Structure 1
Amino acid sequence: MPIKIPDTLPAFQTLVQEGVRVMSETAAIRQDIRPLQIGLLNLMPNKIKTELQMARLVGATPLQVELSLIRISNHKAKNTSEEHLLAFYETWEEVKHRKFDGFIITGAPIETLPYEDVNYWDEMQQIFDWTTTNVHSTMNVCWGAMAAIYHFHKVPKYELSEKAFGVYRHRNLKPSSIYLNGFSDNFEVPVSRWTEVRRADIEKVPELEILMESPEVGVCLVHEIKGRRLYMFNHVEYDSTSLADEYFRDVDAGVPIKMPINYFPHNDTSIPPQNRWRSHAHLLFGNWINEMYQTTPYELDAIGKQHHD
Structure 2
Amino acid sequence: MEPIKIGILNLMQNKLETMYNFQRALKLDSVELIFYYSATRYVDRTLSPEITDNMRPLDLDEIKNLDGFIISGSPVEKLDFPQVSYFDEINDLIDQLNHINMPQLYVCWGAMAALNRIYDIQKKLLPHKVFGIFQNQILKDSKYLDNISDNFPAPHARYAEMDHEEIQNNPHLTIKAISENGLLTLVESVDRNQTFVFSHLEYQKDSLDNEYRRELASPKVKQPFPALNYYSPLDRKPTFAWKQTQLNFYHNWLQSVSEYKLTTC
Q: Does the 8 A contact of 1:168 with 1:189 survive in 2?
A: yes
CA shift, 1:41, in A, is 0.6
How does the TM-score come out when normalised to structure 2? 0.91
Q: 252-261 or 76-85: which moved more? A: 76-85
CA distance in 2, matches of 1:209, 1:99: 29
Identity among equivalent positions (%) equals 29
TM (norm. structure 1) is 0.79
Q: CA deviation at 1:162?
A: 1.0
**Distance change >3 Å, CA 79–CA 190, structure 1 → 2:** farther
Number of residue pairs the alignment of both structures matches: 263
Q: Give, in whole Å, the separation in 2 of the partners of 1:139 and 1:201.
A: 20
Q: Deviations over 1:138-160 (max 9, x none)?
A: 11001000000010011111111
Deviation at 1:171, TM superposition (A): 0.6
Alpha-carbon distance in 2 for matches of 1:107, 1:283: 20
Aligned residue for 2:129, secondary structure, equals: strand
Aligned-residue offset at 1:71: 1.6
Out of 98, 107, 115, the position equivalent to 2:81 is 115
- For 1:20-169, list aligned pairs within 5 A: 33-59=1-27, 61=28, 64-76=30-42, 81-93=47-59, 95-96=61-62, 98-134=64-100, 136-169=102-135
What's the secondary structure of 1:285's corresponding residue? Answer: helix
Aligned residues of 1:106 and 1:142 also touching (Cα < 8 A): yes
* Counterpart selection for 1:189 from 146, 151, 154: 154
The code of the aligned residue for 1:75 comes to R
Q: Offset of 1:85 from its aligned partner? A: 3.3
Rg larger in structure = 1
Q: Pick which of 49-58 and 69-78 moved more.
A: 69-78
1:275 alignment counterpart? 240
Q: Which residue of 1 aligns with 2:224?
A: 257
1:135 positional shift: 5.4
Question: Aligned partner of 1:284: which letter?
Answer: F
Give the distance between the partners of 1:55 and 1:100, measured in 2 at CA: 17
The unaligned stretches of length 5 or more in structure 1 are 1-32, 301-309
**2:7–2:63 contact (8 Å) kept in structure 1:** no
- Inter-partner Cα distance in structure 2 for 1:247 and 1:256: 11
State the SS of the aligned residue for 2:103. strand
Q: How far does the alpha carbon of each residue in 1:55-113 deviate from its partner, in whole angstroms, 9 at most, with x for none?
A: 11211x4x611111112112129999431333222222264463221101001111110
Q: Which amino acid is 1:164 matched to?
A: V
Q: Distance in 2 between matches of 1:222 and 1:246?
A: 25
How far is the alpha carbon of 1:189 from its aligned partner? 0.8
Counterpart of 2:199, as a letter, is: N
Moved over 6 A (4+): 77-80
How do 1:217-256 and structure 2 match up within 5 A?
A: 217-253=182-218, 255-256=222-223
1:204 aligns with 2:172: no
- Aligned-partner Cα distance in 2 for 1:67–1:259: 32
1:87–1:145 distance in 2 versus 1, CA, 3 Å: same
How much does 1:209 deviate?
Answer: 1.1
In the aligned structure 1, how far is the partner of 2:44 from the partner of 2:151?
Answer: 38
Aligned partner of residue 261 in structure 1, secondary structure: coil
8 Å Cα contact 2:25/2:250 also seen in 1: yes
Structure 2 gap segments, 5+ residues each? none
Q: Distance in 1 between matches of 2:46 and 2:18?
A: 11
After TM superposition, the structure 1 stretch with the greater mean CA deviation from structure 2, 38-47 or 70-79, is 70-79
| RMSD of Structure 2 on Structure 1 (CA) | 2.3
Q: What amino acid maps onto 1:40 in structure 2?
A: I
